[in-house]
Amino acid sequence: MKKNIPVVSKHQPLHATFAGYLIGFLLSIYLTISAYLVVVYDTFSRNTVIAIVITLALTQFVVQAIFFLHVGKESKPRWNLIMFSFMVLVAAIIIIGSIWIMANLDYRHGVSPEELNNTIIKDEGYKP
Amino acid sequence: MSDTTTTHAATLSHRQEEDTKSTFGFWIYLMTDAILFASLFATYAVLRNNTNGGPGGQELFSLPFVLVETLLLLTSSFTVGLALLAVHRHDKQKALILLGITFALGAAFIAMELTEFAHLIQEGHSWRQSAFLSAFFTLVGTHGLHILVGLMWLSVMIVKVVREGLNRANVRKLTLLAMFWHFLDVVWIFIFSIVYLIGAA
Protein backbone atom coordinates (compact mmCIF):
# COMPACT_ATOMS: atom_id res chain seq x y z
CA MET A 1 0.00 0.00 0.00
CA LYS A 2 2.43 2.61 1.24
CA LYS A 3 4.97 1.73 -1.41
CA ASN A 4 2.95 3.53 -4.06
CA ILE A 5 3.13 6.87 -2.29
CA PRO A 6 5.83 8.97 -3.96
CA VAL A 7 8.57 10.26 -1.70
CA VAL A 8 7.41 13.85 -1.55
CA SER A 9 7.71 14.89 2.04
CA LYS A 10 5.74 17.74 3.51
CA HIS A 11 8.74 18.50 5.72
CA GLN A 12 11.46 19.33 3.28
CA PRO A 13 12.45 18.40 -0.26
CA LEU A 14 14.08 14.98 -0.36
CA HIS A 15 16.24 14.09 -3.32
CA ALA A 16 16.63 10.45 -2.35
CA THR A 17 15.18 7.49 -4.23
CA PHE A 18 15.53 3.77 -3.64
CA ALA A 19 17.09 3.32 -7.09
CA GLY A 20 19.65 6.03 -6.31
CA TYR A 21 20.72 4.37 -3.05
CA LEU A 22 20.91 0.95 -4.71
CA ILE A 23 23.06 2.24 -7.60
CA GLY A 24 25.35 4.08 -5.16
CA PHE A 25 25.67 1.02 -2.95
CA LEU A 26 26.47 -1.41 -5.78
CA LEU A 27 28.97 0.96 -7.41
CA SER A 28 30.67 1.52 -4.04
CA ILE A 29 30.98 -2.22 -3.40
CA TYR A 30 32.36 -2.73 -6.91
CA LEU A 31 34.95 0.06 -6.47
CA THR A 32 35.94 -1.12 -2.96
CA ILE A 33 36.47 -4.73 -4.05
CA SER A 34 38.38 -3.63 -7.18
CA ALA A 35 40.79 -1.51 -5.13
CA TYR A 36 41.22 -4.39 -2.67
CA LEU A 37 41.98 -6.92 -5.41
CA VAL A 38 44.47 -4.58 -7.12
CA VAL A 39 46.46 -4.43 -3.88
CA VAL A 40 46.12 -8.11 -2.94
CA TYR A 41 47.10 -9.50 -6.38
CA ASP A 42 50.07 -7.16 -6.53
CA THR A 43 50.74 -7.49 -10.28
CA PHE A 44 51.56 -3.83 -10.90
CA SER A 45 54.45 -1.72 -9.66
CA ARG A 46 53.94 0.13 -6.36
CA ASN A 47 53.44 3.52 -8.02
CA THR A 48 50.83 2.13 -10.41
CA VAL A 49 48.99 0.49 -7.50
CA ILE A 50 48.96 3.81 -5.62
CA ALA A 51 47.65 5.66 -8.69
CA ILE A 52 44.89 3.06 -9.28
CA VAL A 53 43.81 2.97 -5.61
CA ILE A 54 43.64 6.79 -5.38
CA THR A 55 41.68 7.00 -8.65
CA LEU A 56 39.20 4.36 -7.42
CA ALA A 57 38.87 6.16 -4.06
CA LEU A 58 38.15 9.49 -5.76
CA THR A 59 35.61 7.80 -8.06
CA GLN A 60 33.86 6.27 -5.05
CA PHE A 61 33.96 9.68 -3.34
CA VAL A 62 32.09 11.20 -6.28
CA VAL A 63 29.64 8.25 -6.43
CA GLN A 64 28.76 8.54 -2.73
CA ALA A 65 28.59 12.35 -2.87
CA ILE A 66 26.02 12.10 -5.67
CA PHE A 67 23.99 9.05 -4.65
CA PHE A 68 24.22 9.22 -0.82
CA LEU A 69 24.79 12.89 -0.01
CA HIS A 70 22.81 14.17 -3.06
CA VAL A 71 25.37 16.88 -3.84
CA GLY A 72 24.22 19.07 -6.73
CA LYS A 73 20.61 17.82 -6.68
CA GLU A 74 19.23 20.90 -4.91
CA SER A 75 17.61 23.79 -6.78
CA LYS A 76 19.36 27.11 -7.36
CA PRO A 77 21.14 28.79 -5.67
CA ARG A 78 23.21 25.70 -4.95
CA TRP A 79 24.75 26.72 -1.63
CA ASN A 80 25.37 23.12 -0.58
CA LEU A 81 27.29 22.46 -3.77
CA ILE A 82 29.28 25.70 -3.37
CA MET A 83 30.22 24.79 0.23
CA PHE A 84 31.13 21.29 -0.92
CA SER A 85 33.36 22.56 -3.75
CA PHE A 86 35.10 24.96 -1.40
CA MET A 87 35.69 22.14 1.10
CA VAL A 88 37.26 20.00 -1.66
CA LEU A 89 39.50 22.94 -2.66
CA VAL A 90 40.68 23.61 0.91
CA ALA A 91 41.22 19.88 1.58
CA ALA A 92 43.26 19.53 -1.62
CA ILE A 93 45.43 22.56 -0.74
CA ILE A 94 46.07 21.23 2.80
CA ILE A 95 46.89 17.68 1.71
CA ILE A 96 48.82 18.28 -1.53
CA GLY A 97 50.55 21.35 -0.05
CA SER A 98 51.70 19.50 3.08
CA ILE A 99 53.05 16.55 1.12
CA TRP A 100 54.83 18.83 -1.36
CA ILE A 101 56.43 21.10 1.25
CA MET A 102 57.49 18.28 3.56
CA ALA A 103 58.91 16.19 0.71
CA ASN A 104 60.92 19.20 -0.43
CA LEU A 105 62.18 19.77 3.12
CA ASP A 106 63.15 16.11 3.32
CA TYR A 107 65.01 16.39 0.01
CA ARG A 108 67.04 19.36 1.20
CA HIS A 109 67.66 18.09 4.71
CA GLY A 110 70.90 16.65 6.09
CA VAL A 111 73.33 17.59 3.31
CA SER A 112 75.81 20.43 3.03
CA PRO A 113 74.96 23.36 0.72
CA GLU A 114 77.57 22.21 -1.86
CA GLU A 115 76.25 18.65 -1.89
CA LEU A 116 72.71 19.97 -2.21
CA ASN A 117 73.73 22.14 -5.15
CA ASN A 118 75.29 19.15 -6.87
CA THR A 119 72.24 16.98 -6.17
CA ILE A 120 69.89 19.60 -7.60
CA ILE A 121 72.08 20.12 -10.66
CA LYS A 122 72.18 16.34 -11.19
CA ASP A 123 68.41 15.82 -10.62
CA GLU A 124 67.39 18.70 -12.85
CA GLY A 125 69.77 17.58 -15.58
CA TYR A 126 71.47 20.97 -15.56
CA LYS A 127 74.91 21.31 -17.14
CA PRO A 128 76.86 24.40 -16.00
CA MET B 1 -11.87 28.55 3.25
CA SER B 2 -9.36 29.88 0.77
CA ASP B 3 -7.98 32.08 3.52
CA THR B 4 -7.15 29.11 5.78
CA THR B 5 -5.60 27.26 2.85
CA THR B 6 -3.29 30.19 2.15
CA THR B 7 -2.31 30.42 5.82
CA HIS B 8 -1.71 26.70 5.90
CA ALA B 9 0.44 26.90 2.77
CA ALA B 10 2.33 29.85 4.22
CA THR B 11 3.05 27.97 7.47
CA LEU B 12 4.14 24.94 5.50
CA SER B 13 6.55 26.90 3.32
CA HIS B 14 7.85 28.71 6.40
CA ARG B 15 8.52 25.33 8.06
CA GLN B 16 10.15 24.04 4.91
CA GLU B 17 12.41 27.04 4.90
CA GLU B 18 13.34 26.40 8.54
CA ASP B 19 14.13 22.76 7.80
CA THR B 20 16.20 23.71 4.76
CA LYS B 21 18.13 26.15 6.95
CA SER B 22 18.89 23.50 9.56
CA THR B 23 19.99 21.07 6.83
CA PHE B 24 22.30 23.71 5.38
CA GLY B 25 23.72 24.60 8.80
CA PHE B 26 24.47 20.95 9.43
CA TRP B 27 25.99 20.68 5.96
CA ILE B 28 28.40 23.53 6.82
CA TYR B 29 29.37 21.64 9.99
CA LEU B 30 30.06 18.52 7.92
CA MET B 31 32.25 20.46 5.49
CA THR B 32 34.33 21.92 8.35
CA ASP B 33 34.61 18.42 9.82
CA ALA B 34 35.87 17.26 6.44
CA ILE B 35 38.61 19.90 6.64
CA LEU B 36 39.55 18.58 10.10
CA PHE B 37 39.92 15.12 8.54
CA ALA B 38 41.88 16.61 5.63
CA SER B 39 44.46 18.01 8.06
CA LEU B 40 44.71 14.64 9.81
CA PHE B 41 45.19 12.94 6.40
CA ALA B 42 47.92 15.47 5.57
CA THR B 43 49.64 14.70 8.88
CA TYR B 44 49.41 10.98 8.23
CA ALA B 45 50.72 11.35 4.67
CA VAL B 46 53.73 13.34 5.89
CA LEU B 47 54.57 10.98 8.78
CA ARG B 48 53.73 7.62 7.13
CA ASN B 49 57.38 6.57 6.67
CA ASN B 50 58.64 7.72 10.08
CA THR B 51 58.35 4.35 11.80
CA ASN B 52 61.26 4.95 14.19
CA GLY B 53 62.67 1.49 13.45
CA GLY B 54 59.31 -0.13 14.24
CA PRO B 55 56.95 -1.89 11.84
CA GLY B 56 55.13 -0.07 9.03
CA GLY B 57 51.68 -0.63 7.62
CA GLN B 58 52.76 -3.65 5.61
CA GLU B 59 53.55 -5.67 8.76
CA LEU B 60 50.69 -4.33 10.89
CA PHE B 61 47.54 -4.25 8.76
CA SER B 62 45.35 -7.24 8.01
CA LEU B 63 43.58 -6.37 4.75
CA PRO B 64 40.79 -9.03 4.81
CA PHE B 65 39.85 -7.82 8.32
CA VAL B 66 39.67 -4.20 7.18
CA LEU B 67 37.72 -5.17 4.04
CA VAL B 68 35.01 -6.69 6.27
CA GLU B 69 34.96 -3.48 8.35
CA THR B 70 34.62 -1.43 5.16
CA LEU B 71 31.75 -3.53 3.81
CA LEU B 72 29.94 -3.32 7.18
CA LEU B 73 30.15 0.47 7.19
CA LEU B 74 29.21 0.73 3.52
CA THR B 75 26.13 -1.44 4.07
CA SER B 76 25.16 0.66 7.10
CA SER B 77 25.39 3.78 4.93
CA PHE B 78 23.00 2.09 2.48
CA THR B 79 20.55 1.02 5.20
CA VAL B 80 20.49 4.49 6.79
CA GLY B 81 19.55 5.84 3.35
CA LEU B 82 16.71 3.33 3.10
CA ALA B 83 15.68 4.22 6.65
CA LEU B 84 15.46 7.88 5.60
CA LEU B 85 13.18 6.92 2.70
CA ALA B 86 10.93 5.04 5.15
CA VAL B 87 11.02 7.99 7.56
CA HIS B 88 9.86 10.41 4.87
CA ARG B 89 7.12 7.93 3.87
CA HIS B 90 6.06 7.91 7.56
CA ASP B 91 6.47 4.15 7.63
CA LYS B 92 7.44 3.98 11.32
CA GLN B 93 7.91 0.22 11.60
CA LYS B 94 10.13 -0.11 8.55
CA ALA B 95 12.11 2.96 9.61
CA LEU B 96 12.74 1.45 13.05
CA ILE B 97 13.85 -1.88 11.57
CA LEU B 98 16.28 -0.16 9.17
CA LEU B 99 17.63 2.16 11.88
CA GLY B 100 18.14 -0.91 14.07
CA ILE B 101 20.06 -2.68 11.29
CA THR B 102 22.18 0.45 10.79
CA PHE B 103 22.94 0.55 14.51
CA ALA B 104 23.93 -3.14 14.53
CA LEU B 105 26.24 -2.70 11.52
CA GLY B 106 27.82 0.42 13.01
CA ALA B 107 28.31 -1.32 16.35
CA ALA B 108 29.94 -4.30 14.60
CA PHE B 109 32.24 -1.90 12.75
CA ILE B 110 33.36 -0.09 15.90
CA ALA B 111 33.80 -3.41 17.73
CA MET B 112 36.13 -4.62 14.95
CA GLU B 113 38.07 -1.36 15.02
CA LEU B 114 38.52 -1.54 18.80
CA THR B 115 39.64 -5.17 18.45
CA GLU B 116 42.26 -4.06 15.93
CA PHE B 117 43.44 -1.23 18.21
CA ALA B 118 43.59 -3.53 21.25
CA HIS B 119 45.56 -6.08 19.23
CA LEU B 120 48.07 -3.45 18.05
CA ILE B 121 48.53 -2.05 21.56
CA GLN B 122 48.99 -5.53 23.08
CA GLU B 123 51.72 -6.25 20.55
CA GLY B 124 53.46 -3.07 21.73
CA HIS B 125 52.55 -1.02 18.66
CA SER B 126 50.67 1.79 20.38
CA TRP B 127 50.71 5.48 19.34
CA ARG B 128 53.81 5.92 21.50
CA GLN B 129 56.00 3.75 19.28
CA SER B 130 56.47 5.99 16.25
CA ALA B 131 55.24 9.12 14.46
CA PHE B 132 53.60 6.85 11.90
CA LEU B 133 51.54 5.11 14.60
CA SER B 134 50.69 8.42 16.31
CA ALA B 135 49.30 9.74 13.04
CA PHE B 136 47.52 6.43 12.36
CA PHE B 137 45.79 6.30 15.75
CA THR B 138 44.84 9.98 15.59
CA LEU B 139 43.28 9.71 12.12
CA VAL B 140 41.51 6.36 12.51
CA GLY B 141 40.66 7.07 16.16
CA THR B 142 39.02 10.41 15.31
CA HIS B 143 36.88 8.64 12.72
CA GLY B 144 36.01 5.94 15.26
CA LEU B 145 35.03 8.62 17.78
CA HIS B 146 32.67 10.13 15.20
CA ILE B 147 31.13 6.68 14.62
CA LEU B 148 30.68 6.30 18.39
CA VAL B 149 28.92 9.68 18.60
CA GLY B 150 26.80 8.67 15.60
CA LEU B 151 25.79 5.43 17.33
CA MET B 152 24.80 7.33 20.48
CA TRP B 153 22.74 9.77 18.42
CA LEU B 154 21.19 6.86 16.52
CA SER B 155 20.17 5.05 19.71
CA VAL B 156 18.63 8.25 21.12
CA MET B 157 16.69 8.73 17.87
CA ILE B 158 15.44 5.13 17.90
CA VAL B 159 14.07 5.64 21.43
CA LYS B 160 12.52 8.98 20.42
CA VAL B 161 10.83 7.48 17.35
CA VAL B 162 9.45 4.60 19.43
CA ARG B 163 8.06 7.01 22.04
CA GLU B 164 7.01 10.03 19.97
CA GLY B 165 6.58 8.62 16.47
CA LEU B 166 7.75 10.32 13.30
CA ASN B 167 6.84 13.88 14.21
CA ARG B 168 8.31 16.85 12.41
CA ALA B 169 11.26 17.36 14.79
CA ASN B 170 12.22 13.70 14.65
CA VAL B 171 12.05 13.60 10.85
CA ARG B 172 14.33 16.65 10.69
CA LYS B 173 16.84 15.14 13.13
CA LEU B 174 16.84 11.81 11.32
CA THR B 175 17.55 13.63 8.05
CA LEU B 176 20.62 15.24 9.64
CA LEU B 177 21.68 11.95 11.24
CA ALA B 178 21.53 10.21 7.85
CA MET B 179 23.72 12.95 6.34
CA PHE B 180 26.21 12.52 9.22
CA TRP B 181 26.34 8.77 8.72
CA HIS B 182 26.83 9.00 4.93
CA PHE B 183 29.59 11.55 5.56
CA LEU B 184 31.42 9.17 7.90
CA ASP B 185 31.32 6.46 5.25
CA VAL B 186 32.77 8.91 2.71
CA VAL B 187 35.66 9.65 5.10
CA TRP B 188 36.20 5.92 5.58
CA ILE B 189 36.70 5.42 1.80
CA PHE B 190 39.89 7.45 2.13
CA ILE B 191 41.03 5.78 5.35
CA PHE B 192 40.54 2.37 3.73
CA SER B 193 42.28 3.37 0.49
CA ILE B 194 45.10 5.60 1.70
CA VAL B 195 45.93 4.21 5.14
CA TYR B 196 45.20 0.51 4.73
CA LEU B 197 45.43 -0.36 1.02
CA ILE B 198 48.35 1.90 0.10
CA GLY B 199 49.95 1.31 3.51
CA ALA B 200 49.96 -2.43 2.85
CA ALA B 201 50.82 -2.21 -0.88
Residues A83 and A95 in one domain: yes
Residue pLDDT, tens place only, B25-49: 999 999 999 999 999 999 999 999 9
For the segment A1-55, what is each residue's pLDDT rounded down to a tens digit? Answer: 444 444 444 445 577 889 999 999 999 999 999 999 999 998 889 999 999 999 9
Q: Which architecture characterizes domain B22-200 according to CATH?
A: Up-down Bundle (1.20)
My answer on whether A53 and A115 are in the same domain is no
Judged by phi (left if over 0) then psi (alpha if -120 to 50, else beta), residue A14 lies in beta
Pick B193's closest partner by Cβ from A57, A83, A94: A57
- On the CB side of B3, how many CA atoms lie within 13 Å of its CA? 0
For residues A111 and A93, give the distance between their C-alpha atoms in angstroms, rounded to a whole number. Answer: 29
Please count the structural domains in chain A.
2
- A45 and A88 co-located in one domain: no
Sequence ranges of the domains in chain B: 22-200
Say yes or no to pLDDT of B63 above 90: yes
Query: B87 near B174, Cβ under 8 Å?
Result: yes
**Residues of chain B positioned with their CB less than 8 A from the CB of A53:** 193-194, 197-198, 201
Interval B157-170: pLDDT, tens: 999 999 999 999 99
The 10 Å CB-count burial string (b at 16+, else e) for B2-13 is: eeeeeeeeeeee
| A68 and A85 within one domain | no
Looking at the predicted structure, is the pLDDT value of residue B189 above 70? yes
A53 and A66 inside one domain:
yes
pTM, rounded to two decimals:
0.88
A48 with A92, same domain?
no
| pLDDT number for residue A6 | 45
| pLDDT at residue number B201 | 82
Last residue of a domain, one of A55, A73, A91: A73
| Same structural domain, A19 and A66 | yes
Which 75-114 residues of chain A touch chain B by CB within 8 A?
79-80, 83-84, 86-87, 90-91, 94-95, 97-99, 102
Range of the domain at A125: 76-128
A65 close contact with B: CB closer than 8 A: yes
DSSP code string of chain B: -HHHHHHHHHHHHHHHHHHHHHHHHHHHHHHHHHHHHHHHHHHHHHHTT--TTS--HHHH--HHHHHHHHHHHHHHHHHHHHHHHHHHTT-HHHHHHHHHHHHHHHHHHHHHHHHHHHHHHHTT-STTS-HHHHHHHHHHHHHHHHHHHHHHHHHHHHHHHHHH-S-HHHHHHHHHHHHHHHHHHHHHHHIIIIIIIHHH-
Provide ipTM, 2 decimals: 0.89
pLDDT of residue A13: 57
Confidence of residue A118 (pLDDT cuts 50, 70, 90): confident
